[in-house]
Amino acid sequence: MRAPKARGNFGEFMLADVLGQIIPQDHFQLQYCFRNGTRVDAAIFVGNHMVPVDAKFPLDNFQRILATQTPEERKKARREFIRDVKRHVDVISERYISPEEGTLDFALMYVPAENVYYEVIACDDDAESYTLSSYALERRVIPVSPNCFYAYLQVILLGLRGLRIDQAAREIAESLMKMQSDFKKLAEDFGVLGTHINHAKGAYEKVQRGVDQFQVKISLVDQVKLKDSPIEKAPLDASGVLKT
């Protein structure tokens, strides 16, 4: 998958597979061609409108992030990755969001892997990276990953059914933005839960060691011989009472 064309073909294949499982065959088209000759990887048709979906994604600098050895190198690679993504977002916004061609006022940017998607929506101390997902949404481009794309498609289908197209499109965009925020919160809570589980495991192992040590001490008490006790040497009368 090092060759960009091979990665692009694989991303388009995965996109087609997901669409084929959710959307009826007559309601989407791969490699849809606009009147000006521009082609988008997929278009989902709803009534007289469509949602463009782009499956290409810049991965070279993301791979450099994974290969970096120092924080400085990672920061530099991440800045370049952010720059690539913003440039790609601009291309999608300018080429594929075209109401005069029948598109809705947003487009979906299909991110090929969950770890790449996380880098797009992640927030950290870098102010530039913090605004990356917001940058895309401001240009009406919504990033989607393989896992959450199913849910987004369901929102599109349900949101547009029986509603006016222009009003439903705005509600869909708001729902997708909220889903993205909820997904980030869920990921954070999941990380906190993992930390608590690790702490509980450590506390359990500590108590278990204490119980084992206590059992060893009890077994030593059981082995003490009482025949040397002063009480055992004292004479008893016929009734078994100590003689004074």
Residue 112 resides in a domain = yes
Q: Which of 57, 59, 12, 52 is nearest to 32 (CA)?
A: 52
Residue 205 resides in a domain = no
How do 49-54 and 107-110 pair as beta strands? Answer: parallel
**pLDDT tens across 70-94, in order?**
888 888 888 888 888 899 999 999 9
Residue 56 resides in a domain = yes
Residue 204 resides in a domain = no
Q: How many structural domains is the chain composed of? A: 1
pLDDT at residue number 88: 92
Residue 207 resides in a domain = no
Stretch 123-134: mean pLDDT: 60
Is the per-residue pLDDT at 7 higher than 60?
no
Tell me how far apart the alpha carbons of residues 37 and 200 are, in angstroms, rounded to a whole number: 60
Give the 3-state secondary structure of residue 115.
Answer: helix
- Mean model confidence pLDDT for the chain: 78
Question: pTM higher than 0.85, yes or no?
Answer: no
Provide the residue range defining the domain that includes 101: 4-193
Residue 240 resides in a domain = no
**pLDDT tens across 140-163, in order?**
999 988 888 888 888 776 755 655
Residue 239 resides in a domain = no
Residue 230 resides in a domain = no
Tell me how far apart the alpha carbons of residues 178 and 206 are, in angstroms, rounded to a whole number: 42
pLDDT at residue number 129: 47
